[in-house]
Chains A and B, each alone.
Chain A
Amino acid sequence: MTIPLWHNLMLNPLAAFGILLALGVIGGQIAVRVARLPAITGYIATGLIIGPYSLNLLNQQLLNEASLFVQLALGIALFEAGRRVDLRWLRVEKTLLATTLLYCLLVFASLFALLNASGFGAPASLMLAALGMATSPIVVLEIVRESRADGQVSERLLTATALSSLLAMAGFALALSYTHLSADHSVEDGILMPGWLILGSVALGLVAGLVTTQLNRWLGGHQREAQRVLLFGLIALLVGAADMLQLLALLALLVAGMSTRTLRHGYTVSEPGILSLSHVFTVAFFVSAGAHLSPQALASHWQLALLCLILRSGIGMLVWWLAARGNGLSRKQGAWLGLALSPMNSGSALLLGLGMVSLGEAAQSFSAALMAALLINEIAAPILTRLALRLAGETAGASHA
């Protein structure tokens, strides 16, 4: 037997996952204790430092191999975000729906105008603007959990977050369709593919919601542990099935969560704590998200990325400030809610591949711009969201708004 030498050692996926978690937790604690920042910021910074674009402690291959855990984390977060959307409430509380729609529309239009004027061309600008509408459910949920935020601002923030993700995915599919058609691709590519993406994902989500509800009902509330394990399994299955069917797992999970909230007997789906149980995956998700970020992308696009962040946050604050009264909030609370919507959906990166295929030559620039926007956003936005919730008086120990 020969003893392996240090320079011959190769990290396997399990060791990579261990590094991801251990260094992530240390980074998170440094952020919390030293800089008094959200732990998320520490996770992302850790990823950024150890990722392939920096120290390369974790290379691209290992990151790909660890992506299973990342997808699970995202899946659980999206499912939980979907469960935060109460369709019965939205039927009564139309102001919330209208405000979210207006906010998304204005963000979309402004980002499109900005990107188009920056020379990205209509197809890439449309896609980026569509992705830019979405607030990140996983970031918002994690900040709400970490800061123990509770109240009307948090509740509306989570609903708006889930709705914006739904709109962004629909918008992205439409932009994809436009891109295919304008590039003279076949009609199948232009219409059937986006149609399949949207309708197929929604159908898959509905089926998953129905199955989840019925199985939980069959198990019964006295089998809480079994229900939790079942839910976890079904989410993993849904992520896998969406991948196999080449559907949008993000959309399917949101729809599944929403349907379990809305369907009869939906209460049987165990509610408290599925995200807190999956905290291991959440840490891995953020470290991995940080490792995927490329600081080099900032060189060419930092001004644009910064402008995108300011634009999204500014529009959010203005729209929700104006609509505060209608939403049962004070003006201040409205503005803070708008600011809290700042985190862009890092799940957008998963849609990158779809966009890249259809954009051809413009893909490189599209990818770099999205990376730059995500980098700035993922560092700054969690801080803004926590600050906003604190100023709204909803975090534990916050000053009263």
Chain B
Amino acid sequence: MLEFTQSQPLTLGVELELMILNRRDYNLTRGSDDLLLQVDRKPHGFDIKPEITQGMIEIGTAVHSDVNAMLEELLAIRKLLVDSAHKLNLGLAGGGAHPFQHWDDQRIYPKERYQLVSELYGYLAKQFTVYGQHIHIGCPDGDAAVRLTHYLARYIPHFIALSASSPFYQGVDTSFQTSRLTSVNAFPLSGCMPVVDSWSAFNDYFERMEALGIVASMKDFYWDIRPKPEYGTVEIRICDTPLSIETPVLLAAYAQMLARRCFEEEWNDICSEPYLTYSYNRFQACRFGFDGVMVDARTKQQQGLQEDLLDTLRALEPHAEALGSQRQLAALRQRALKCHSDSRWLRQIFEQSGSLSEVVRRQSEHWMYAEPGVGVN
């Protein structure tokens, strides 16, 4: 039986997986240990930890109610990391996947869980050298978490389009806005949570899976959105790590507004029908970004993703006001209106320079030094 820890509703936390690069050709480098050694030489209370391969590092914020405070914390973490990276001549960058690293060159971090994942999944573990943003939203109880997970599934394509930043993979343009999610799809327990309507139903499902020896903990589910009972949150795991330090905050603000609407309206319309089109809509967003289409299985209507996002943002205005996130809502609307995405910017740099090393150099410079408000677009 999984116990769901109660948490303050609508509180937020984000986790960002970052690339560790050499500053010679901007390929991934085995730098997580060296960087952590350097970071930990200064006293700090931040959550900075290794990830599955050694060219990755993960940072996490504390729990916030106010997204502006979250941005302040992210800036402080960035300063600490950048100071340490300078000492070691390492680059750090956002982006969902490194454009030209070779998966076989990556090394699994020597931690028991990662070694087990590597043994179980073989080359998939090394191919999992992709970089995502996770957003945690506080929920009052497990039932609310189940409801919120289903509610957010409808908006997953929005998060994909807003965060897409991995158009290149293994040295080629994939023609996708985000190639990262293809790596995630390969895992057998990826996708979405089954259609359960309460925390007890979820527990039944979990226990059956556990009894079959398929899972041992929630970590074994690689779902796009999943309840996180030990934190008392719902975790959105679909986003690429954005290129800018402030975009994660915009995405968190969007999730917070959506969650508020779900809780305020006491939404409980859980059924299997929307999942008929879930994978298709997700694919459209990965492939075409703002230009994708979304199919509503209930109304049997199609709508452009950009239009759907703008409609949703309009509907969220009262919630933005209540949460004090009007500035973030306006910034999101601007992005949607202008179809601004990190992927487009990365393609433009490649078009100009012809060099993927230069692409990564620019994305690293941006993550490490750009002031908030200076978007890539």
Contact = CB atoms under 8 A, between A and B. Distances in A.
Interface of A: 83-84, 86, 89, 92-93, 148, 150-152, 155, 220-224, 261, 267-268, 271-272, 328-330, 393-394, 396, 400-401
B89 A267 contact: no
B292 to A, nearest CB: 29
Given A86-B23, A267-B358, 18 more contacts: A83-B24, A86-B89, A89-B23, A92-B87, A151-B29, A151-B33, A155-B88, A220-B354, A221-B353, A221-B355, A221-B358, A222-B354, A224-B354, A261-B24, A267-B357, A271-B24, A328-B87, A330-B37
Nearest to B111: A400
Nearest to B361: A267
B129 interface: no
B89 A155 contact: yes
- Dominant secondary structure of chain A at its interface with chain B: loop
A152 B105 CA distance: 16
Contact of A151 (B34, B86, B110): B34
A271 B357 contact: yes
A92 B355 contact: no
Contacts of B30: 150-151, 394
A390 to B, nearest CB: 14
A181 B107 CA distance: 56
With a 10 A CB-CB cut-off, give which of B24, B110, B358 has the most chain A CB atoms. B24
B149 interface: no
A84 B34 contact: no
Contacts of A400: 33, 110
B25 to A, nearest CB: 4
Interface in B86-109: 86-89, 105, 107
B277 interface: no
B89 A93 contact: yes
Nearest to A267: B358
B24 A221 contact: no
A89 B89 contact: yes
Contacts of A330: 37
Nearest to A396: B107
Contacts, number: 61
B37 A328 contact: yes
Nearest to B100: A272
Given A93-B87, A152-B88, A330-B37, A221 B354 contact: yes
B31 interface: yes
A150 B29 contact: yes
Contacts of A150: 29-30
A186 B23 CA distance: 47
A261 B89 CA distance: 14
A221 B87 CA distance: 30
A270 to B, nearest CB: 8
B264 to A, nearest CB: 50
Contacts of B61: none
9 contacts: A86-B24, A148-B105, A151-B34, A152-B88, A267-B358, A272-B27, A328-B37, A330-B37, A396-B107
A152 B27 CA distance: 14
A394 B33 CA distance: 11
B235 to A, nearest CB: 30
A3 to B, nearest CB: 52
Contacts of B105: 148
A152 B88 CA distance: 7
A330 B357 CA distance: 30
Nearest to A268: B355
A328 B358 contact: no
Contacts of A223: 354
Q: Which 10 A-B pairs have the closest CB atoms?
A: A221-B354, A221-B355, A271-B25, A222-B354, A152-B34, A89-B89, A150-B30, A400-B110, A151-B30, A328-B38
B22 interface: yes
B171 to A, nearest CB: 10
A77 B326 CA distance: 57
Contacts of B357: 267, 271
A84 B29 CA distance: 14
Contacts of A328: 34, 37-38, 87-88
Nearest to B32: A151
